[in-house]
Amino acid sequence: MEMDEEFLESNDLDWFSAYQDGYIAHFATGGKGIVPESVKSSTENYEAIYDYFYAIDKASEIEIIGDNLPSFSNEAQRNRYLKSFIDMAERGLFSHDVKDDGTYKLIAKPKKGISYKGIPGKIKVILHTLPASVLSLDTQITVVE
């Protein structure tokens, strides 16, 4: 089953992709982020990829990209916001949040990212790959197709 625009706008999806440089990225849509056609085209594939990455053990130290954080009124609010991004980065994924324009900004990154080469073949064949112009070092991502 394919995800339609109404579904995408009413759900804060976590989707995943490979960078051309071999690392893996996580994206939180906030109901407004750009989602690649290959991700939207199959909820079955989406769920398989989601389940795989959420099952990975946390093993990496992380770095927060402070320049990409919104303003917070207190430390508790900051910690609530960062929780899911830290969770993904600790699993070895470069974790992004949506910006107001639907593009993405890097929030947390692992000190040791997991490699595309190390994931199972059944996930590799259905995992979206970002364009060659997008690298794991990018703190702003405007193109996902």
Name the residue among 138, 12, 133 with its Cα closest to residue 67.
Answer: 138
pTM for the whole thing?
0.91
Write the burial class of residue 71 (CB in 10 Å: 0-12 exposed, 13-18 middle, 19+ buried): exposed
The residue ranges of every structural domain in the chain are 5-141
**Model pLDDT for residues 24-70, shown as the tens digit of each residue:** 999 999 888 888 888 988 889 999 999 999 999 999 999 999 999 99
**Model pLDDT for residues 56-110, shown as the tens digit of each residue:** 999 999 999 999 999 999 999 999 999 999 999 999 999 999 999 999 999 999 9
